[in-house]
Structures are given as structure tokens and as C-alpha cells.
């Protein structure tokens, strides 16, 4: 006995409605969960160091989510404000001189500081562009994030053939938090119009979520349309 067309149609509509609801609710639920987890993580680090006399929760008798995160933001901002004047720079300089005398600590501190200065620098172009390189073999293309021009000894060694080398980051799929640092000739990089955020979505979805292309640019032919 076969199902009637009406019954099949209803089941299809029910399935489609469920999938639509899943697409709407799942990202929202994940976003709320991650945000809430981050707030609680920040609170767990900051709240134990707040004196009871200055802790609002001692007076209102209920937990205030995000209080620790808010205090951390205020404290970091105040430290940054003080670090911009003469006295603050002197204190920071003295602290760095102490850290520079510690064999293991100075390596970690210098590396971490350099990374943050590079990433947070307003004039930096790091990871503001996506590109394609041939990897792992000719004819196969991989998505990369363009970092910066090669500098120092690496640039001197690699630019001997007058090829301008560029540092790129090649992340894996679907978790682009680790990957490979590669130095590639600029001429062999195909720069893309998509933003790094769109590139991350493309990687996480394993190519299922393709960013919308806004049209041809710089003489690039428009992508062919698929037959209906």
C-alpha cells in the first residue's frame, strides 16, 4: 500500500519546517551558549579577587552575570590609559626590564607581546585578505589568509631571485585554529574579494557556505552560471 500524495506532501512540509527551524535555532543557541560560557569564565577569574566591600553581590545577595567581565574591561582600559603617560611608561618599562632578566619568561613575554602588537596595530594589514595558492600540488588550490610581506632574514634568503615573498596562513578544515605558516611568491597568490570572516565560514562549512560574489573585478571574468 503506497502513501497518498497528500500524506507525502505533509511529511515533506513537516521535515522542511523542522530543518528551517533547526537552521534558525541552532546558530542562535550556540551563540548564546558560547557567550554565556565566556562570561562565566571571565567571572570565575575576576570575582575571587574582588574585596567583599567592593563586590556588589554582597549587597544585592544575587549573582550578577558579567560583573567580572565588566570589571576586567575597566581595569584593562585603565592600565592602558596609565601606560600612555610618562609615569605609566616608566612603570611598564621597569616591569619589562625585570621580565627580560628571566630566561624562560622573557621569551614567552616577548613573543606574546609581538603577536598582540602586530594583530592589534591599527595600520596592520595582517589577515585582512584571503587568497588562493596551489597546494598540495599544481592544479589543486587551497584557501589561505594573507599575513604580511616576508621580513628580516627570511626575506633576504627568499628574495634572492627577485621574487617578492609573502607570509600566508594555511588553516585546516573545519577548525581553522591551527595550520601552516608558508612563504609564497606574491605572483603565485590569487587574491580574493571575500573578507576573512567569509573565508572562515567557507572553511568551517567545508565549502558548503559559499560567500556571495559581488561581480567581476579588475577584468576577472564572471563565474559561469549553472544550467537550470
C-alpha distances (whole Å) from 208 to each of 99, 144, 196, 203, 205 are 47, 17, 16, 9, 5
Tell me the per-residue pLDDT of 48-98, one tens digit each, with 9 for 90 and over.
888 888 778 777 777 788 888 888 888 888 888 877 777 777 888 888 888
CA 8 vs. chain centroid, Å, equals 44
pTM for the full model? Answer: 0.53
d(CA 171, CA 177): 7
Tell me the per-residue pLDDT of 152-171, one tens digit each, with 9 for 90 and over.
888 888 877 677 889 999 98
CA 169 vs. chain centroid, Å, equals 12
Amino acid at each position: 500500500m503506497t502513501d497518498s500524495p497528500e500524506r507525502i506532501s505533509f511529511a515533506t512540509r513537516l521535515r522542511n519546517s523542522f530543518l528551517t527551524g533547526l537552521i534558525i535555532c541552532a546558530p542562535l543557541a550556540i551563540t548564546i551558549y558560547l557567550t554565556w560560557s565566556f562570561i562565566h569564565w571571565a567571572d570565575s577569574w575576576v570575582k575571587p579577587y574582588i574585596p567583599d566591600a567592593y563586590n556588589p553581590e554582597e549587597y544585592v545577595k544575587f549573582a550578577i552575570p558579567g560583573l567580572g567581565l565588566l570589571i576586567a574591561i575597566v581595569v584593562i582600559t585603565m592600565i592602558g590609559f596609565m601606560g600612555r603617560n610618562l609615569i605609566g611608561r616608566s612603570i611598564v618599562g621597569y616591569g619589562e626590564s625585570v621580565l627580560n632578566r628571566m630566561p624562560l619568561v622573557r621569551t614567552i613575554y616577548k613573543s606574546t607581546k609581538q603577536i598582540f602588537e602586530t594583530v592589534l596595530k591599527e595600520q596592520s594589514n595582517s589577515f585582512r585578505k584571503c587568497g588562493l595558492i596551489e597546494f598540495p600540488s599544481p592544479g589543486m588550490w587551497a584557501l589561505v589568509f594573507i599575513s604580511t610581506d616576508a621580513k628580516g632574514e627570511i626575506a633576504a634568503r627568499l628574495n634572492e631571485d627577485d621574487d617578492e615573498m609573502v607570509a600566508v596562513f594555511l588553516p585546516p578544515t573545519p577548525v581553522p585554529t591551527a595550520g601552516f605558516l608558508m612563504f609564497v611568491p606574491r605572483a603565485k597568490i590569487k587574491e580574493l574579494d571575500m573578507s576573512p570572516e567569509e573565508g572562515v565560514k567557507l572553511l568551517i562549512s567545508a565549502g558548503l557556505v559559499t560567500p556571495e560574489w559581488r561581480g567581476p573585478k579588475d577584468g576577472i571574468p564572471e563565474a559561469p552560471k549553472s544550467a537550470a
